[in-house]
Chain A
C-alpha cells in the first residue's frame, strides 16, 4: 500500500500502473468476499440446524397437536395406539439439571473465588490443569463411571455411600460454621470472659453439629436405594461435568473485575473476605450469572451421562423431589429411541424426537440470549 503514496514516485519504481492497482484492489475485494463467504457459511450452519430440525418437528405437531406433547405424562411411543406425552421427560431433564446446578454452582463459584483471589500463583498453576482435565474427559467416560462404578456402589451399599458423602462434605463445612458462629456469639460477651466464652460456645456448637451430622448420617444410612441408575447419580456426574464451565467462566469474570477495585477496598481496611463478598462478586455478578447459565446449558444438553446413569424411566417421581428414582431426559430419549424410530421415518414416532430436539434448541438459544443480555446490560451500566 505504501507504494501508492505519491511522494516516492518514479525513481523507486514502486509505483504500480493503474491497471495493476485495479487488479490488486479487485483481488483483495474478492479475497475478502471469499473470507466472508466461508465465515458466513459457518454461521449459516446454525440457521440450517434450526431449519432442518424444525422441518422434521412440524409434522409431529400437525399430526398430533400441541396439547398432548406438553401436558400429558404418558410416554408410550410403541404401544397401539401410541401416546406421546413428554411432560414427564421435560420434568426429568429439569430435575437432573437442577441437581447438577445444586452440585456445581456453590462448588464452582467458591473454587473460582479461590482460584482468582486466594491461592498463590504456583498453586493456581497446579489447579488449572485439574479443571482442564475435568473438562477434557469425554462424556461417555463420565457415563461409564456412573454406570459401572457409581451405580453398583449406590445399589449395593445404598445409604452408607450417602452417609459417607455427607460426612465428607458436612464435617469440614460444620467446622467452618462453628468457628464463625462461636466467634460471632462470643463477641457480645464481656471482654473478661470472651476467651473462655469463645471456647465454650465453640465446643457446644461443635457437639451440636457433630450430633446433627451423626443423626443425618444415621438417617441416610437407613435409606435403601432400589436402583443405582437414578436422578441422583446423573445429577452428581452432570454437576462434576458442568464444574469446569462454571469455574472457568466465573473465574474470568472475577479476574476481569480488576486489581484497582480490590486495592481500593483493601485500602479502606476491608479484609479479603469482605473485599470479595462485598466488592468483587457484585462487580462480577453478570459474568457469574452467565457462568451459571452456561452450566445449565451444559447439563441440559448432555446426552451420554444421563442416558447411562438416569435409569430412563419416563415418570414423575412421587414426591417430585425424590432424587433416588429413575427419570428420563430429553437427550436420552432422542438418543435411545432413534434406533427404533429410524425405520418408521415419517411417522409421529420419528418426528416427536425432532420436536424434542427443537425444544432443546429453543431452550439453549434462549439461554444464550439471556447470558448475552446479562453481560451487555452490566457493560452498559458500567460503561
Chain B
C-alpha cells in the first residue's frame, strides 16, 4: 500500500487538487468580472446614432449645434422616402374594399409603431408627451434590434401539437405584398445607416449627466453622487470612532472582563447580517431618534458607518499592533507622555496600515445595498446638494442596480445603463482595493529598509 511510488503519486495528485481548486477560484472571478467589464464598457463607448446627438443637444446642451443640425437634416433626407411610401400607401388603402382596408390599416399601424421606435416620431406629427417617445434609438446596437422589429414580427408556431408554441420570426413584408409599401422594407434594411448615421463615441457624460425619463436618456450623476455622499458620511462617522477604539484597545485596555466583553461585542457586530443593520437603522435612527423625517442620506450614512465600524477597528488594531514595541519605548524614554508618544510616534507609523483599512471599508460602504434600502435609497431622484443630504433620500449606485434590473418597466431596453452602473461600482471598489494593495506594498518596503 505504501510503496514509494504510490506515495509519490498520491502526493502529486494532492498537489494537483490544490492547483485545480485555485484555478477554479480564478476562473470564477473571470467568469463574473469579464461580462460586467466588457458590457459595462459599452455604456461609455458605443456607436451613437444621430438621435443620440439630437437628444444630447436638446436635453444637456452638449455638442456642436450647427454640426448636429446638418446631420439631422441629412438623416431626415434619407428618411424622406420612408414617409413618402407610407403616405402613398395610406392613399392607396382608402380605395380598397372595407375588410381588406381595415386589415391593412391595422397592419400599417403596427409598422408605424415599430418605425417610431426606430426613428422617432414622424415629421409633422405632434410632439409626444413621454420623453422616451420623442427620440428614435440612441444606440446603434439597440437600433439594430428595432430594425429587426420593423422587418420581422414575432409569431408562434403551433404545428407540433405535442410541444409548446415555438417563437418564430415572420417577415413583415408578407403582409404588404403588392402594395406600395413593399419596397420600404428593403429600403429600411439597406439605408439604416444613412437614416441614423451611427458613429463611435466615448460618452463621458454617462457619469456626469442626470438621467432623464427614468434612465432612458442620460447618465447616472445622481447615483454616483448619492454613493459618494453615503460613503463619505459613513467614513466621517466611522473613521474617528474606529481609530479611537483601536487605540484604546491596543494601548490602554488591560486584560479584564470589560475589555474582553468589548472585544466580543465588536466581533458580534462584525457578524450581524447587513439587512439587520438596515432594519436597525429604520427602527433606531429614523423611528426612534428621528435624525430625519423619513429616509435620508444622514440616516443611511450612520447605518453604513455602524456596518463598517468592526472592519475599521480590526484593521486599525492590527496596524497599531504591528508597530514595533521599541518605537514606543524610545518615545517614552525621551520623556514623551503616553498620549504624546501615541500621536507623534505610533499613529504615524501605523498610518499606512490604518489607511489600508479605511480604503477597504470605503469600498465596502460604497457597495453595500441592504443597509440603505430602508434608510436612504430611493429609485428616482435628483442629485442632491450637500445641505439637503441631512433630510433627503438619494438614489445610489448599489440600490439602483437592483432597482433597474428588477423593477424598471423596460428592463431590456436599458441593459446598457444597468451594466454601466455595475461597471462603475465594481471599478470604483476594485480601484479602492488596488490602492489599498499599493499602500500595503509601500509599507512593507518601508519596514524592510
Contacts and interface: CB of A to CB of B under 8 A. Distances in A.
B193 interface: no
A379 to B, nearest CB: 14
Contacts of B111: none
A357 interface: yes
Contacts of A45: 265, 269, 306, 309
A1 B337 contact: yes
Interface residues of A, number: 99
B14 A276 contact: yes
Contacts of B273: 297, 300-303, 331, 360-361, 364
Nearest to A198: B5
Contact of B373 (A31, A119, A335, A360): A335
A127 B8 contact: no
A180 to B, nearest CB: 5
13 contacts: A39-B249, A42-B242, A46-B268, A53-B279, A136-B433, A138-B426, A138-B429, A142-B32, A144-B418, A274-B11, A276-B14, A335-B373, A361-B273
A55 B283 contact: yes
A141 B419 CA distance: 10
Chain B CB count within 10 A is highest, among A110, A184, A247, for: A110
Contacts of A47: 265
A136 B245 contact: no
B374 A338 contact: yes
Contacts of A35: 244-245, 247-248, 252
Contacts of B306: 45
B370 A335 contact: yes
B235 interface: no
Contact of A43 (B266, B370, B402): B266
A53 B17 CA distance: 45
Nearest to A342: B374
Chain B CB count within 10 A is highest, among A138, A142, A368, for: A138
Contact of B288 (A28, A52, A130): A52
B6 interface: yes
A100 B339 CA distance: 47
B32 A240 contact: yes
B32 A145 contact: yes
B25 A130 contact: yes
A240 B29 CA distance: 9
Given A127-B25, A147-B405, A368-B268, A114 B18 contact: yes
Contacts of B324: none
Contact of B269 (A43, A130, A247, A307): A43
B87 interface: no
Contacts of A136: 360, 363-364, 367, 429-430, 432-433
Contacts of A280: none
B22 interface: yes
Given A46-B265, A176-B16, A183 B280 contact: no
Q: How large is the interface on B (under 10, 10 to 19, 20 to 34, 35 or more residues)?
A: 35 or more
B265 A183 contact: no
Contact of B262 (A32, A43, A139, A141): A43
Contacts of B288: 52
B374 A274 contact: no
Interface in B6-47: 6-22, 24-26, 28-29, 32-33, 35-36
A271 B283 contact: no
Interface of B: 1, 3, 5-22, 24-26, 28-29, 32-33, 35-36, 240-242, 244-245, 247-249, 252-253, 261-262, 264-269, 271-280, 282-284, 287-288, 306, 309, 313, 332-333, 335, 337-339, 360, 363-364, 366-370, 373-374, 398-399, 401-402, 405-406, 415, 418, 422, 425-426, 429-430, 432-433, 437
Interface in A135-181: 136-145, 147-149, 169, 172-173, 176, 179-180
Contact of A114 (B21, B32, B338, B425): B21
Contact of B22 (A114, A179, A276): A114
B366 A138 contact: yes
A301 B275 contact: yes
Given A137-B32, A334-B275, A335-B275, 6 more contacts: A45-B265, A110-B21, A240-B28, A273-B15, A335-B278, A357-B275
A33 to B, nearest CB: 10
A349 to B, nearest CB: 14
A68 interface: no
A39 B245 CA distance: 4
B383 to A, nearest CB: 21
Contacts of A129: 437
B358 to A, nearest CB: 14
A367 B271 contact: yes
Nearest to B366: A138
Given A133-B433, A140-B401, A300-B273, A41 B241 contact: yes
Interface string A330-345: 0100110010001001
Nearest to A107: B21
Nearest 5 CB-CB pairs, A to B? A138-B367, A301-B273, A114-B18, A43-B265, A273-B14
Contacts of B418: 144, 148
Nearest to A367: B271
A308 B248 contact: no
Contact of A357 (B12, B20, B279, B335): B279
B275 A140 contact: no
A149 B31 CA distance: 10
A272 interface: yes
A114 B19 contact: yes
B244 A39 contact: yes
A206 to B, nearest CB: 14
A110 B240 CA distance: 39
Contact of B19 (A106, A118, A301): A118
B421 to A, nearest CB: 9
A308 B364 CA distance: 19
B146 to A, nearest CB: 21
Contacts of A342: 374
B4 to A, nearest CB: 9
Contacts of B369: 138-140, 303-304
B29 A133 contact: yes
Chain A CB count within 10 A is highest, among B17, B252, B399, B415, for: B17
A129 to B, nearest CB: 7
Contact of B284 (A48, A272, A307): A48
Contact of A132 (B6, B9, B16, B433): B433
A28 B368 contact: no
A353 B240 CA distance: 33
